[in-house]
Amino acid sequence: MPEVTASSRAIAPFLRSRIPRALAARRPDARWRPGLEEQPLHSEIFASGGEASGAGLALALARDALAAAGEDDDRRQVLWVQDRVTIRLGGRPCVQGLPPDLRHRLIHVAAATPEDALFALEEGLRCRDLVCVIGEIAGNPRALSFTASRRLSLTAERHGVSLWLVRLDAAPDLSSARMRWRVSAAPSPHPRWNPAAPGYATWRAELFRARSHAPGEWILNDANGTLRPDPAFAATDSGDLVRPTVGRSLAARARA
C-alpha cells in the first residue's frame, strides 16, 4: 500500500477541486442527453436504406454538438459524402430541406465507390475549414475495415473535425467509432396549430455503444431546430431522459 504522508493529505482536496467536471460526465453509467458539451469526434449511425432516418439524425446530432460547443454560428462549410449506392437508396441532400443556416455552405461529394467515399471523408477531416463532416456508406464493404475506421477516428481527433458516418443497411461490425447508434423513424407529434400539417422529424434512437455513456434508447425530435427527447417517452421517476437497454449489444447479437 502506498505511504500517505501529511503533505499528500494536504494537497488531496486541492487536486480534487481541480478535476474537470467533464471527467465526471465520462463515467460508464453516465446517461447521454442532447446538449452535452463533451461530444465524440467519430460517431456511426446504422439505419435502413428505405428511409431517411440515418441522414436526418446525423444532421440533428451534428447541429446539437455544434450548438453545445458554441459553434452553431460558425460559418465554415459542411462536407457531405455519399457513395453511389446510398445516393440510389435515399437520394442526394435536398438543399431546400436543410436548415436555413446550412443551405449555402454545403459541399456535396458523390463518390463512385466506398473506397472513394472513405478517401473523401478522410481528406475532409484533415481540413480545418470544415465545421463537420457527414458521410453515408451502404452495407459492409471490405474497404470499411477496422483499420479504415481507426484511421477516421485518429484523423478526426488529430484535426478536431467531427464525423457522423451513416451506415445504410449495414450490420454492426468492428469499428473504432466512439459512439454508435441504431435509428428508425418514429411517429411525429401532432402540430400544435395545424393538425393537418406534417409533424417534426422524430426518431427512435438506440445508443448501443459509447465509451462514456451507458446504452439506452430515446425518442428524439428536432422541433424548432433543437434536438430534444420526447417527454412522453422519458422516464419521470428518476429524471433520466432515457430508457436503458439490457442484454448483449447489437454488435454481439449480430455476430451470434
Residue at 12 is within a domain: no
CB of 239 closer than 8 Å to CB of 196: no
pTM of the model: 0.80
SS3 51: coil
Coil, strand or helix: which one is 179? strand
CA-based R_g, the chain, Å: 20
- Which residue has cell 393538425? 195
CATH number at residue 244: 3.40.50.300
Provide the domain limits for residue 68. 36-188+196-255
pLDDT in tens, the chain (256 residues): 444 444 444 444 433 333 344 444 445 447 899 999 888 999 999 999 999 999 999 999 999 999 998 887 788 999 999 999 999 999 999 998 898 888 999 999 999 999 999 999 999 999 999 999 999 999 999 999 999 999 999 999 999 999 999 999 999 999 999 999 999 999 888 777 888 888 888 999 999 999 888 999 999 998 878 899 987 665 433 344 455 554 444 444 444 4
**Quick one: cell of 145?**
475495415
Rounded CA-CA distance 243/240 in Å is: 8
All cell numbers assigned to 229: 427527447
Is residue 171 in some structural domain? yes
**Is 106 contained in some domain?**
yes
**Residues 44, 47: Cα–Cα separation, whole Å:** 10
Answer yes or no: is 65 within a domain: yes
Q: For residue 206, what is its C-alpha cell?
A: 438506440
Residue 9 included in any domain: no
In a domain, 15, yes or no: no
Q: Where are the alpha helices (DSSP H) in 136-216?
A: 146-159
Work out how many domains the chain is built from and give that number: 1
110 is a domain residue: yes
**Residues 45 and 250 sit within 8 Å (Cβ to Cβ):** no
Q: Is 30 part of a structural domain of the chain?
A: no
